[in-house]
Amino acid sequence: MGNELVGTDVEEDEVLEEVAQVLSHDLSNLLTTARSSLELARRQHDDDEHIERTVAVLDNSEQLVEDVVTLARTGRQFDDVSPTDIESVAESAWLSVDELGVSLRVDESLREEHLRIEADPGGLRLLLENLFQNAVEHGPAEEVVRVGLVERNGTRGFYVADDGEGFEMTDPEQAFESGYSTDDDRSGLGLAIVRRIVDAHGWTITVEESREGGARFEIGGVDFAE
């Protein structure tokens, strides 16, 4: 039975990789061609409302392709698990989503102890990037995103919290479903990618309202390096 499950997982991963290749190559090439033609039309018809609307749709389409490819290529498990400094990875991940007026605050609990966890550095960075991006997209213009240590029932983990609009739903787990989004212009895959990374590490993730009224994601089941 175990071998059958492993075989099924491998086959599914191979299919996902094929899908990722088609999306990242063929569809991306088509979108690039469409953008080139659109830019030519833009130069000839400046300030055309229909062209600008099409540009926005194209931007969203390219982001959707990127998100689907990322989701497809995020493995069931990571091979490069090693002691990883949360603070340094968080600060590195922040560079990809840093926006004017929004700031990252790493709690002293992480700064002072220089805590390291057993994680795949690339996977941890991608997880944090998506949580940060989620916070920025749903937060106010001047927002603080926090990363810190959490201790519950004798075990430790880490959290990412913001002071955005939070989640208005009876089942918070719905936020991690592929395609779920409160914004029609977003793919709704960011938190699904987060869930896949969490599962691949054998961690847990929960979401609740933060003290500031935004969202607070807690990642548990984490092994801290000595």
| Residues 126, 32 share a domain | no
Q: Are residues 105 and 187 in the same domain?
A: yes
Angle between helices 49-73 and 2-21 (to 10 degrees): 150
Cα separation, 15 vs 11, whole angstroms: 6
Look at residue 156 and tell me if it is in a domain.
yes
Q: What is the pLDDT of residue 5?
A: 33
- Say which residue, 69 or 11, is predicted with more confidence: 69
154-176 tens-digit pLDDT: 888 999 998 776 666 555 666 66
**Helix locations, 107-170, DSSP H:** 108-113, 121-138
How confident is the model over 90-131, as pLDDT tens digits?
Answer: 998 898 776 667 889 999 888 877 789 999 888 898 899 889
Q: With respect to residue 190, please indicate whether it lies within any of the assigned structural domains.
A: yes
Same domain, 55 and 105: no
* Whether 177 and 122 share a structural domain: yes
| Torsion sign over Cα 211, 217, 220, 226 | negative
> Which amino acid appears at position 95 of this protein?
L
The pLDDT score that the predictor gives to residue 221 is: 93
**Contact call for residues 24 and 65 (beta carbons, < 8 A):** yes
- From residue 213, alpha-carbon distances to 100, 159, 173, 174 in Å are 21, 15, 18, 19
Asked which of 42, 73, 104 is the last residue of a domain, the reply is 73
How far is residue 39 from each of residues 32, 36, 43, measured CA to CA in Å?
Answer: 11, 5, 6
Residue 136 located in a structural domain? yes
Share of the chain above pLDDT 70, in %: 69
Q: Higher confidence at residue 159 or residue 12? A: 159
* Residue 225 within a domain: no
Residues 11 and 32 grouped into a single domain: yes
**Structure tokens that stand for 113 in this block:** 């102890």
Asked whether the predicted pLDDT for residue 86 surpasses 60, the reply is yes
Q: Are residues 141 and 216 in the same domain?
A: yes
Quickly state the pLDDT bin for 215 (edges 50, 70, 90): confident
Q: Which domain holds residue 93?
A: 82-220
Most confident of the following: 2-6, 15-19, 67-71, 82-86 = 82-86
CATH number at residue 100: 3.30.565.10
Helices (H), 22-139: 28-44, 49-73, 86-94, 108-113, 121-138
**pLDDT (0 to 100) of residue 2:** 40
Report the alpha-carbon angle 167-123-129, nearest 5: 45
Please report whether residue 226 resides in a domain: no
Answer yes or no: do 55 and 160 share one domain.
Answer: no
Of 91-105, 137-151, 198-212, highest mean pLDDT: 198-212
Number of domains comprising the chain: 2
Of 17, 48, 73, the residue that ends a domain is: 73
Taking the C-alpha atoms of residue 85 and residue 111, their distance in angstroms, rounded to an integer, is: 10
92 and 30 in one domain?
A: no
Do the domain assignments include residue 164?
A: yes
The pLDDT of 32-38, averaged and rounded, is 83
Same domain, 188 and 155: yes
Decide which of 73, 104, 132 is a domain's last residue: 73
Query: Is 144 found in the same domain as 47?
Result: no
My answer on whether 97 and 190 are in the same domain is yes
CATH number at residue 23: 1.10.287
State the average pLDDT over residues 72-81: 70
The verdict on 63 and 105 lying in the same domain is no
* Global confidence as pTM: 0.70
- CB count within 10 Å of CB 57 equals 13
Tokens of 202: 């054998």
